[in-house]
Structure 1
Amino acid sequence: MLSHHDRTELAKIERNLELSDPDLAAALREGKRRKSRALRTALLVAFDIVAVTLLVVGLIVPDPGVTLCGILALTATVWTHVARHRL
């Protein structure tokens, strides 16, 4: 059993959570689980493959536009991987 002080502190935390992130508070209240990261991971791997393919095709075919798209896509995937691991 929680003490009166603990219940009061818990109520304060609940109110702050409700004010700062109502979606998270509702998900916790309803018992919903967060979405799986498997779809995000699969999309990220697919994007990695497309970026590398664009870069390789751009280096084989003398088209600077394809090479530039490959470099930009590869830069975006590296940035996404770094940002994802910092969370």
Structure 2
Amino acid sequence: MLSHHERQELERIQQWFEHDDPDLARQLGEGESPGGVLRSRVLRYVTDALALGLIVLGAMTLNFGLIFFGAVLLAVAACLHVAHWGDAQPPTARGTGPG
């Protein structure tokens, strides 16, 4: 729980952001990253393609190092996909559930 002074300071910072950079304040208020969803989505698909390319190249050349690195990169790509699973859905309000 924040003290009265801390809440006032946070409100002052919020007002400064809204005055100084309204686009950033809007994006942060909506829960978006300032870079946007499109860049994140492109990064995930490029990581997928690079990982699969390394695995295929490693299998064609029988190079275990390429296969291993491709598998590690594929695991990273899977983590990126899981972390951004709900990008297409709007963010839900926290703390509005029953209870």
Same fold (TM over 0.5): yes
Output the CA distance in 2 between the equivalents of 1:81 and 1:16.
Answer: 38
Number of positions where the alignment pairs a residue of Structure 1 with one of Structure 2:
70
Output the CA distance in 2 between the equivalents of 1:16 and 1:53.
Answer: 53
Output the CA distance in 2 between the equivalents of 1:65 and 1:78.
Answer: 20
TM-score (norm 1): 0.63
Distance 1:54 1:32, change over 3 A: same
TM-score (norm 2): 0.57
Identity %: 20
Distance 1:86 1:41, change over 3 A: closer
Distance 1:60 1:82, change over 3 A: same
Matched, 1:15 2:33: no
Structure 2, unaligned stretches of length 5 or more? 28-33, 88-99
CA RMSD in angstroms comes to 2.8
Matches within 5 A, 1:13-52: 15=7, 18=10, 25=14, 26-27=16-17, 29-30=18-19, 31-33=22-24, 34=27, 35=34, 36-52=36-52
Q: Which runs of 4+ in 1 moved over 3 A?
A: none
Deviation at 1:16, TM superposition (A): 7.0
